[in-house]
Structure 1
Amino acid sequence: MGKREELDWLVHDGGGYLLTCEVVSHGISKPTLAAYVKRFEMIKAAHGVYCTKDTTPDPFYILYLRNKKIYFSHATSLWLLGMEKEQPPRMEVTVREGYNASHLRSRDVHVYQVKKEHYEVGATKGVTPQGHPVRLYDLERTLCDVVRDWRNTDSQRTEQLFQKYLESPKANVPRLMAYAGQLGILEKVRAFVDR
């Protein structure tokens, strides 16, 4: 397979996106990439991320592609999971404690940092509204995060979220309580579940 065919395959495999790091990892030079991008009039969606001109840029997917260590969380996760009707005004993500997230904050992304032992609790995969795969926290972990962030959360809104969750056939209360125990907020979560 020639370089052009390999680039075509990477674009196809990437759903219309092409990452500089993937191109280089396949042994294709940056000048070859630049020529390909120019020839096919690809759009620079972000540093190191290109998309075809007929691909609508997906800001959630682009952020994820540039930051594979993030999990969408809090209001963003609630929206991606269908618990909120309106898209939050800014993206919210969680990273492991110690991760330098200044580049995310400079792009108006709200960043939460958690201890290493809490980072993977409730980790799952989901899709953006445009159908691209991203990492996010499941609904049970997200509800725990809402409770943990009580200073920035409207208690009435939290009650509504729990009521909606508990009425859902997808509710998994044992998992919710297990996460709450792991995160040290069991009694606070139990108070919302028992209302």
Structure 2
Amino acid sequence: MKINETILKVIKSNNNMITTAQAVELGFTRSLLSWYVKEGLLERGCRGVYILPDSVCDDMYTLMLRSDKMICSHDTALFLNGLSERTPFMHSVTIPSNTKLSNPLQKECVCYYIKPELHQLGVITRKTTLGNEVRCYNAERTICDLLRSRNRLDEETVISGIKNYAASSEKDLDRLATYASKLGVEKNLKRYMEVLL
């Protein structure tokens, strides 16, 4: 028993993984992937994501595959932007306030909501430690998000993120000021920056 060539081609081009949605789009049934799991040809990485045996599941990347509305943010974006050494235990994502994540997805990540018109502000792509590209906010947007959500985050994460940003040679203070204005955190930003710069 072998994996269908079409499916295998997609798996190989997708860093050894495939989603149920991708298989259905190719014209295969959902049950085929489950059958491959029973046969030992695939493993279930997480809900709706299947990987080749002995492959490492990239949690951040599989989250992105499961919803095109999610953008890595807060402590996860800090890590992706090189402003934190710590990989978050649970990844943080931001979605528009007029959408909702499925219950299984809500249990797998920390979700923040933002007005739809601000959702795409500062979106870039970064590589995960396993080399997959994911959507995430740039450093300036991430700093503003930390300030917006500081009551939900530990103070150490906020302070170290801002300190690391302030020390970065790639910081763009004009962009930071623009984002702070749009996201309503100018006063908080000024207070932190006066202490750190």
Distance 1:30 1:162, change over 3 A: closer
- The TM-score with structure 2 as length reference comes to 0.85
Amino acid at match of 2:113: Q
Q: How does 1:99-114 map to 2 (within 5 A)?
A: 99-101=99-101, 102-107=103-108, 109-114=109-114
Distance, in Å, in 2 between the alignment partners of 1:43 and 1:127 is: 23
Distance, in Å, in 1 between the alignment partners of 2:5 and 2:105 is: 34
Distance, in Å, in 2 between the alignment partners of 1:177 and 1:148 is: 14
Amino acid at match of 2:28: I
Name stretches of at least 5 consecutive residues in structure 2 with no aligned partner.
none
Distance, in Å, in 2 between the alignment partners of 1:157 and 1:37 is: 40
1:104 CA drift (Å): 2.7
Distance, in Å, in 2 between the alignment partners of 1:162 and 1:56 is: 32
Report the counterpart of residue 64 of structure 2 in structure 1: 64
Count of equivalent residues: 192
1:21 and 2:21 matched: yes
1:46 and 2:54 matched: no
Given that 2:75 and 2:157 are in contact with CA atoms closer than 8 Å, whether structure 1 keeps it comes out as no
Query: What secondary structure sits across from 1:151 in the alignment?
Result: coil
Report the counterpart of residue 95 of structure 2 in structure 1: 95
1:72 CA drift (Å): 1.0
Given that 1:4 and 1:36 are in contact with CA atoms closer than 8 Å, whether structure 2 keeps it comes out as no
Among all aligned residue pairs of Structure 1 and Structure 2, give the percentage whose two residues are the same amino acid.
27
Name stretches of at least 5 consecutive residues in structure 1 with no aligned partner.
none
Of residues 96-105 and 171-180 in structure 1, the stretch that sits farther from structure 2 once superposed is: 96-105
Kindly provide the CA deviation profile for residues 96-152 of structure 1, in whole angstroms up to 9, marking residues without a partner as x: 103223433333x21111111111111111121111111111111010011112323
Distance, in Å, in 2 between the alignment partners of 1:160 and 1:33 is: 43
1:17 CA drift (Å): 0.6
Report the counterpart of residue 144 of structure 2 in structure 1: 144
Given that 1:95 and 1:114 are in contact with CA atoms closer than 8 Å, whether structure 2 keeps it comes out as yes
Report the counterpart of residue 76 of structure 1 in structure 2: 76
Of residues 81-90 and 91-100 in structure 1, the stretch that sits farther from structure 2 once superposed is: 81-90
Given that 1:177 and 1:190 are in contact with CA atoms closer than 8 Å, whether structure 2 keeps it comes out as no
Distance, in Å, in 1 between the alignment partners of 2:28 and 2:152 is: 47
Q: How does 1:112-131 map to 2 (within 5 A)?
A: 112-131=112-131
Given that 2:98 and 2:116 are in contact with CA atoms closer than 8 Å, whether structure 1 keeps it comes out as no
Kindly provide the CA deviation profile for residues 65-103 of structure 1, in whole angstroms up to 9, marking residues without a partner as x: 112211111111111222111222322111110322343
Amino acid at match of 2:187: E
1:64 CA drift (Å): 1.6
Amino acid at match of 1:104: L
Query: What secondary structure sits across from 1:110 in the alignment?
Result: strand
